[in-house]
Amino acid sequence: MAGDAARVPLTIAIDGPAAAGKGTLAKRISAHYGLPYLDTGLLYRAVGRLAADSGIDLDDADAVGRIALTLDTDQLDDGSLRGREAGERASRVAVHPQVRAALIDVQRRFASAPEGAVLDGRDIGTVICPDARVKIFVTASPEVRARRRTDELSAKGRDVSYETILAEVRERDTRDAGRVAAPLKPAADAHLLDTSEMDIESAFRAACGLIDRATS
């Protein structure tokens, strides 16, 4: 990029379902282009944990929404938020419009960095950053995503069943796509990146190709 284009913030929105590899990809992209990175899923995981720790019913939209308003982003630097249970809690609280509304400003402030930013989640291109210069929707078949998640957990010494993980992936897909507030779907102008037959290096090269063409 040169001239005026070089001064335009490069905001990259990366969306997709659970275990599609969007987080790993987003980190690589942020490092490659020298941009700050936010895993927005951690916001919902943190809200879910705070609600659970406070004894709040995760299905109580108003109560969980009030918890979301108190979230401090310093609370995101916690390895336990990467766990399977945290992911399930996040999916449950993310269906509440009150929670999503409370977290919109946090995400948009991050995305407004002068140089741009990379954000990954499920509604970045559709709700949080509808004017992002580049939008990528990363997906893969439920079977491939379940296999990846099973292998990841097994490598950490967890005794997990592929069939159980596959059922959880499908259940979460249904919940994410069916929620009233910001359902999971590609933005109309998003580039679809199906990683079912790709390793991370292939997916990274493909994503960089999309970004470079979109910003040239």
Note whether residue 46 is domain-resident: yes
Is the domain of 212 the same as that of 139?
yes
The whole-model pTM stands at 0.84
Strand order in the sheet with 37-39: 37-39, 116-121, 10-15, 134-139, 191-194
Residue appearing with tokens 């005026």: 4
| Per-residue buried b or exposed e for 67-77, using 16+ beta carbons within 10 Å of the residue's own CB | bbeebeeebbe
CB 91 within 8 A of CB 171: no
Is the domain of 31 the same as that of 124?
yes
Cα angle for residues 106, 116, 102 (degrees, 5° grid): 10
Range of the domain at 213: 10-36+116-216
Give residue 183's pLDDT.
Answer: 85
Is the domain of 107 the same as that of 213?
no
Note whether residue 94 is domain-resident: yes
Is the domain of 135 the same as that of 32?
yes
Is the domain of 123 the same as that of 24?
yes
What is the Cα–Cα distance from 201 to 122, expressed in whole angstroms?
22
The mean pLDDT values, 10 residues at a time, for the chain of 216 residues are 62 94 95 95 93 96 95 81 86 91 92 96 94 97 95 90 94 86 90 95 97 94
Note whether residue 200 is domain-resident: yes
Q: Three-class SS of residue 1?
A: coil
